[in-house]
Chain A
Amino acid sequence: MAIDWDAIFKGALAAGAHAVRDSAPQVRDFLEQVLNGHRQALIELGEARAAGDLTKATFDSELADEEDVLKVELEAVTVLAKAVAQRAINAFSKAFQDGLSAAIKLIV
C-alpha cells in the first residue's frame, strides 16, 4: 500500500490556508503554486523517512530547510508579511508531518 500523497498535500494546503484565513484569504492559490516546486522533494523526503532511509534528525533538518525556502518563496510571490508567510508555512508543515505519520502507521 502506497502513501496517498495527494491526500497529505491537500490536508496540508488546507491547514496552511486556514492558519492565515483572516489576514491573507488568497494565500491558498499562492501556497499551491509555490508548493509545486517542492512537492517532489517533500515526497522523496517523506518516502525516505518512511523507509528508514534517513534518520529522524536528518528528516527534521531537511524539512526545516524546505520550510525556510517555502517561506521565502511565498513572501516573494505574494508580498506577504514575513509573520503571515511563516504562520502559513508552519501550519502547512505540521499538517504535512502529521499526515505522513498517520500514513506510515497505516502502511507498515
Chain B
Amino acid sequence: MAKVTGSDIVAIAWRHVGERYVFGVRVPKDNANWKGPWDCAEFTSWVVFQATGKLFGCVGANPSVANAFTGYWKDDADRLSCGVSVIVARNTPGAFLLRYAVANQPGHVVVSDGKGGTIEAHSTADGVIAGKADGRRWDQGVLPPFIAYEEPSVMEPPESGPGLVLRVKSPPMQGELIKRVQLALTAKGFSPGVVDGSYGPHTAAAVAAFQLSVGLVADGEAGSATRDKLDVRAAEARLRL
C-alpha cells in the first residue's frame, strides 16, 4: 500500500469544511462516515486515523473511544520527536500547527494546507472552516512520522503576524492592559478571580468562557480579536522608559 502523503491529509480534511463544531465532543476515529460534530483535536486525530489507521494525539488504544486533546498532540510530538518549527509546518501540506494547551485551557490544533491556509474545527459559530495560519499565534508544527511529507520547495514566511497575544506564561504576563482585560471580563460576567493585572489560569479560564460565548476559538488567549470583543483598547503612550 502506498504511504499516505501530506496532500492526502489535506484532501480528507477538506471534505468536512462546513460541518458542525461542539466544544469537547468525542469522535469515533474509526468511523469513516462521521460528519460531525467536531472539536479541534478530535478533528485532526480523526483525519490522521482515517488516513493511516494510527492514533495520534489521543489517550486510549481503542479508536472508537480514544480521547483526542491538544495536550496529547504535544505529548506525542515530544515522544515521537516529530515536532518542527511553525514556519516548516506552515509551508508543508498536511502538517499540523499546534497552540499548546496551558493551564487547563484547550489550546488549538489545525491542518496546514502548506500555503498559509488551514482546515480546522474552529468554533461553535463557524464550525469546520478553511482558515488562515498567518496572523495567528502557534507554538510548534507537527509532522506525524507515519505520513510521507514532501520537503517544501519554497519556505515562505507568514504574511502577517498575530500581534500582541496575552496568555499564560511563566513568569506571568503583567501590566495595566491585563488589568483592563480582567475588568472587562468581570463586567461581562466572566470572573477572572482577583483583578491584579497578572495573566494567570483564572484569567485564561474566564477568557476561554467568554470566547466560547461569542464564537471565538476558545483557547484562553487574549489576542486582538478577543480584546476587540471585550472592548479593551491600548492606552496612549505615557511612559518614560
Contact = CB atoms under 8 A, between A and B. Distances in A.
Most B CB contacts (10 A, CB to CB) among A34, A36, A38, A54 go to A54
Size bracket, chain B contacts: 20 to 34
Interface stretch (A7-15, A45-53, A87-95): A45-53
Contact of B175 (A36, A53, A73): A53
B157 A108 contact: no
B241 A55 contact: no
B173 A76 contact: no
Contact of B239 (A38, A41, A50, A76): A50
A52 B238 contact: yes
Given A52-B235, A76-B87, A108-B237, A40 B173 contact: no
A11 to B, nearest CB: 16
Chief secondary structure at chain A's binding surface: helix
Interface residues of A, number: 36
Given A54-B177, A55-B175, A101 B161 contact: no
Contacts of A53: 175-177, 234-235
A107 B134 CA distance: 32
B79 interface: no
Contacts of A107: 237
A45 B236 CA distance: 13
B120 to A, nearest CB: 19
A76 B155 contact: yes
Interface in A72-106: 72-73, 76-77, 100-101, 104-105
Nearest to B235: A51
Interface in B132-178: 134, 155-164, 169, 171, 173-177
Given A47-B234, A108-B240, A58 B175 contact: yes
B88 interface: yes
A82 B150 CA distance: 23
B155 A77 contact: yes
A54 B238 CA distance: 12
Interface string A58-71: 10011000000100
A22 interface: no
Given A53-B177, A73-B157, A76-B87, A44 B238 contact: no
Interface of A: 3, 33-34, 36-41, 44-45, 47-58, 61-62, 69, 72-73, 76-77, 100-101, 104-105, 107-108
